[in-house]
Amino acid sequence: MDRAGRRLLLALSGVVMVFSTSAFGTYFKLTQGSPSNSSHVDLLAPVSVEPANPGVGLAWLAVGSMCLFIAGFAVGWGPIPWLLMSEIFPLHVKGVATGVCVLTNWLMAFLVTKEFSSLMEVLRPYGAFWLASAFCVGGVLFTVFCVPETKGKTLEQITAHFEGR
């Protein structure tokens, strides 16, 4: 993190998350009319070497995109915001500001967890993941245009940056 830079890792992480959520949405779009379980076997159908429907051969896309998302999140958006939070807040507000950030993070995690199934019903699974991809694009843009690089800077230099000195 100190060698590559926080901003670069956040942007890279966001791009990986965009591609993985887009791929997951594509998987759901391609398998829309198929059974919900990719290992579904129709016992009355004749045995064939070819997949019975287009969704059966795409299980790798679902698993691969999920693994890619987890890896991308672990590289940047998982750990780096917590580090940046400790670096960018001045000492006189660090305790309260950190508390507000943690509360907001957990409230948003709860909201996403609670409402994701409803969102999948309204937008269909592919739409929900494409919406998540759009939010990841927003995160990449926010990172590129708004997040300062703190690699190699002291806390005093970071504070001076935010105070406009």
Give the domain ranges of the chain: 6-32+57-163
Whether the Cβ atoms of residue 97 and residue 162 lie closer than 8 Å to each other = no
- Is the pTM above the cut of 0.85? no
Question: Given a cut of 70, is residue 44 above it in pLDDT?
Answer: no
pLDDT digits (tens, 9 = 90+) for 78-92: 999 999 888 888 888
CATH number for 6-32+57-163: choose from 3.30.9.10, 3.40.50.300, 1.10.274.100, 1.20.1250.20.
Answer: 1.20.1250.20
Question: Given a cut of 80, is residue 145 above it in pLDDT?
Answer: yes
Q: Report the distance separating Cα 109 and Cα 54, nearest Å.
A: 34
Note the helical H segments in 31-91: 59-75, 80-88
